[in-house]
Amino acid sequence: MELDNPSFDVIVVGCGLPESIAAASLAHAGKTVLHVDQNDYYGADHASLTLEELLKWACQRKESQLNDNKNGGVSIYLKNQCRKFSQLEWMFASDNISGTSDPDQLDIPSLLQKVSRSFSLSLYPLLIPSVSPLIEMLVASGVSRYSTFRLLDETSVYVPMEGIAKKVPGGKEDVFKDRSINLVEKRRLMKILMWIMGDFESSPELAGKETEPFPSFLKTVFSLSEEMASSLAYALAHCQSPSDPTLPSLLRVRKYLRSVGKYGNSPFLIGQYGGAGEVAQGFCRLSAVQGTIYVLSHPIESINYPSTISTDPTLTPSTDNMTIKVQIQGFAHPVESSHLIVSQDYLPAPVSDRELNTDTGEKWVRCISILNKFPALLRRPLQANDVKGEQPEGVEHIQQKEGEDERDTALVVFPPGSLGSDVQGSVSALLMGEGTGSCPKGYYVLYLTTLLPPTASSSPSPLPQFLTTLTGPDHPLFQLVYTETIPSGETESPVPGRVHIPRSLVMVKEGSDPVARSEASGGGKSWTEEATRSAEEGERLFWEVFGKKGQLDSTPSNSEDEGKGEKEGQDQKESRGFFWPRAEFSGDDDDDGF
C-alpha cells in the first residue's frame, strides 16, 4: 500500500478524543494531516463498540496475550494496552460461564446474539457539562451537527440507612420543590448554593480551608447534616473520596450549577450512543472533510526521529533535517512529517517500557453491564406531575408499573462506605436506555466506576456488589469488569517542539496558586471531567503544532457565505475564547444539535 504523497505537515497516531480534536482543528487551519490508528474503529480508549467488538477488545487485552508470540509477536501498542487495562473478567448470565480469552472463540448466548450489533457499549461514558470547552468546540466547529445530545434525566444518591436512591436537587428550583428536605436544611442549602455561584475564592468562609476535606468543610462552615453534605459532595461536586480538597470541589460545583438551565434542568449532556467515541468520530469526520487521510487497522512498526536530535535530547530543535519518519505496517515506504502527535500507547522502547506510576496516578475499576429490566433500585412511584395527561382529582401518586418508566438516563452515586468499608471511594453508576442509541428496545446499559486508593487491590473487584444492589433479583445478561491504570506525569518528548504527546492526566504543579492547581487537577479521569480535560488537551496539542496563540485567522478560507462579514467572525472568536477556526456552517445557524 502506498500514498500518492507520503509527506504531511502533521502525522497523528491514535484516535482518542484529544488527538481527534487536534487533528480536526489542524486540518481546518490548513495543515495536511495523516491520522493513523491500529484499531479498526474510531475513538481508541474512548470508543463505542458493539457487544462483539467489546468482547474482542477485552480478549486482546487479557494479560495472557502478552505471552502470545504468534504472528510476529504483540505490538508495542497492545503491550501498553495490556498494562493499562488489567483484571478483565466477563460473564453471561444465561450460562454462568466466564468468557474465553481467545478472540476467535466468542460465544455469545442466543438471547443477545440476535441483537448484539444493536448495542453501542462505551469504553468511556461521557457526561458533558453544558457550559464547558467541549461544548464550545462542538458548536464552533460544527461537529455538533453530526450527532444529537440529550440531557441527563436525573441524578440520585444512595442513602444506606434507607436502602433507597434519593433524587438530588439540580438547582434552586428543585430545592424549593423537594418535600424530603426540611425548611432549615433548605435554607442552609440555598445559602451555600448562592455562595458557590458567586466569587467565593476570596471569601472569609474559604480562607485557609482550601485543602480541607470537602465533606468536613460543608458540615463545619455551613452546618449541613451528614446526609446533605454527602449529597452535595458526591452527587453535585462528584468527589471521589472523603479527602477530596475543598477548593477544586467548589470549582466543580460552580461549573455544574452554571450549566443548569442552558439546555434544560440538568447540568450534563449525554451524546448519541452515550460515550466519548461518537464525539471523537465526529471530529474525525470533520477532519476527513478538510482533507485528512485516515489509516485504520494498521500497527505502527517504527518511529524514526532525526539522528541529530535522538542522540542528544538536550539539543535545541532546528528547522533543518527535522523530518520524522513513521513506518506503518503494510506500507512499502515510511510516511514523514515535521510534526508528530502520538499517543503514549504507541511510544517505542525505552519509553513504552515505562512502569506505570500508580503512586501518583489513578487506578479505576470499571464495569459495563447489559440488563433487560429497569434497575430495581431506581424504580419509584411516579409523581402526579411526572405523568403526562389529565390526572384524576385527588390523586397525588400513581404507582409505577414495570416498563412504564420513561427515564432513559440516570446517574446514581454511592458515597464512600455505602455498602461497607471495603470500598473507600464513591461509586458512580450511569444508566442508558433505548433513547440514547446505546441499546435496542427492552434493554439497558449500566456502567459503574470507582477510583481506588493507590495502594488498594482491584482483585477481587468491588463493583459486583453495587451492581447487585442496583438490579436486585434481576441479574445482568452480561457484565465486563476491569481495572484501568492511568500513569501520572508527563512523558518527555524525544524531540521537543516536534513530537507532541497527549497527557493522560493534567498534574498539579508545585508552587502554583491554589486556584490554578485546583483548576488543573480537579476530577481526574472521571465521567464528568474527561470532556473538559480532553478538550483542553486537544487545544494544547493544536497550539504546540501551530504556534503562538493569536496567529490564527478566524475568518473562513472557503466559506460559501462570506457576506456575514468579519465582525461576526470576530464576535464568535471573542465570545468563545477558544482556538477553533471559524467553521463553514450551512443551513439553520440555530441547529447546533443540542
d(CA 129, CA 479) in angstroms, rounded, equals 28
Residues 433 and 466 in one domain: yes
CB 369 within 8 A of CB 469: no
Residue 170 has a pLDDT of 67
Final residue of a structural domain among 230, 248, 269: 269
d(CA 358, CA 350) in angstroms, rounded, equals 19
Maximum alpha-carbon separation in the chain: 84
Radius of gyration from C-alpha coordinates of the chain: 25
Residues 315 and 443 in one domain: no
- Does residue 76 form part of some domain? no
Q: What is the pLDDT of residues 343-357, one digit of tens each?
A: 989 986 444 444 444
Domain count, the chain: 3
pLDDT band for 179, please (50, 70, 90 cuts). Answer: confident
- Does residue 541 form part of some domain? yes
Please give the average per-residue pLDDT across 506-526, as a whole number. 48
Asked if the model's pLDDT at residue 217 lies above 70, the reply is yes
For 1-84, list the strands marked E by DSSP: 7-13, 33-37, 48-49
Q: What is the pLDDT of residues 436-463, one digit of tens each?
A: 999 999 999 999 999 987 666 666 678 8
- Does residue 161 form part of some domain? no
d(CA 20, CA 27) in angstroms, rounded, equals 11
d(CA 300, CA 344) in angstroms, rounded, equals 13
Residue 433 has a pLDDT of 93
Domain span at residue 425 reads 83-118+362-486
d(CA 292, CA 289) in angstroms, rounded, equals 7
Q: What is the pLDDT of residues 261-318, one digit of tens each?
A: 889 889 999 988 878 999 999 999 999 999 999 999 999 998 888 764 443 333 344 4
For 71-120, list the strands marked E by DSSP: 85-92, 97-98
Residues 130 and 17 in one domain: yes
CATH code for the domain of 30: 3.50.50.60
DSSP state of 505: S
Determine the residue type at 435: G
Residues 283 and 333 in one domain: yes
Please give the average per-residue pLDDT across 186-199, as a whole number. 89
What are the C-alpha distances in Å from 309 to residues 300, 305, 316, 322, 391?
Answer: 21, 7, 8, 8, 75
Pairwise pLDDT comparison (532 vs 403), residue with the higher score: 532
Q: Which residues pair with 269 in a beta bridge?
A: 128, 151
Residues 95 and 180 in one domain: no
Q: Which three cell numbers stand for residue 359?
A: 503512586
Residues 456 and 529 in one domain: no
Residues 301 and 182 in one domain: no
- pTM here? 0.85
Residue 17 has a pLDDT of 95
Q: Which range has highest mean pLDDT (63-77, 95-109, 527-541)?
A: 527-541
Q: What is the pLDDT of residues 78-133, one digit of tens each?
A: 888 988 898 899 999 865 555 555 555 567 888 888 899 999 999 999 999 999 99
DSSP state of 232: I
Final residue of a structural domain among 269, 300, 322: 269
Helix H, strand E, coil C: the string for 388-443 is: CCCCCCCCCEECCCCCCCCCCEEEEEECCCCCCCCCCCCEEEEEECHHHCCCCCCC
Contacts of 543 (CB under 8 A, 6+ apart): 549, 579
Residue 275 has a pLDDT of 84
- Does residue 36 form part of some domain? yes
CB 532 within 8 A of CB 129: yes
Contacts of 396 (CB under 8 A, 6+ apart): 383, 384
CATH code for the domain of 431: 3.30.519
Please give the average per-residue pLDDT across 582-588, as a whole number. 40
Q: Mean pLDDT lowest for which of 33-37, 82-86, 221-225, 568-572?
A: 568-572
d(CA 519, CA 221) in angstroms, rounded, equals 22
Determine the residue type at 50: T
Final residue of a structural domain among 244, 269, 294: 269
Asked if the model's pLDDT at residue 399 lies above 70, the reply is no
d(CA 214, CA 250) in angstroms, rounded, equals 8
d(CA 580, CA 569) in angstroms, rounded, equals 11
Residues 473 and 511 in one domain: no
Residue 168 has a pLDDT of 85
Half-sphere exposure of 158 (CA within 13 A, CB side): 23
Asked if the model's pLDDT at residue 182 lies above 80, the reply is no
- Does residue 340 form part of some domain? yes
d(CA 488, CA 520) in angstroms, rounded, equals 13
Residue 203 has a pLDDT of 93
d(CA 266, CA 366) in angstroms, rounded, equals 24
Asked if the model's pLDDT at residue 521 lies above 90, the reply is no
State in Å, rounded, how far the first CA of the chain is from the last one. Answer: 41
Residues 134 and 259 in one domain: no
- Does residue 416 form part of some domain? yes
Residues 348 and 493 in one domain: yes
Residues 281 and 351 in one domain: yes
Q: Which three cell numbers stand for residue 370?
A: 447489559
Residues 387 and 418 in one domain: yes
Q: What is the pLDDT of residues 463-499, one digit of tens each?
A: 889 999 999 888 899 999 999 988 765 667 777 788 9
- Three-state secondary structure call for residue 167: strand
CATH code for the domain of 235: 1.10.405.10
- Does residue 584 form part of some domain? no
- Does residue 78 form part of some domain? no
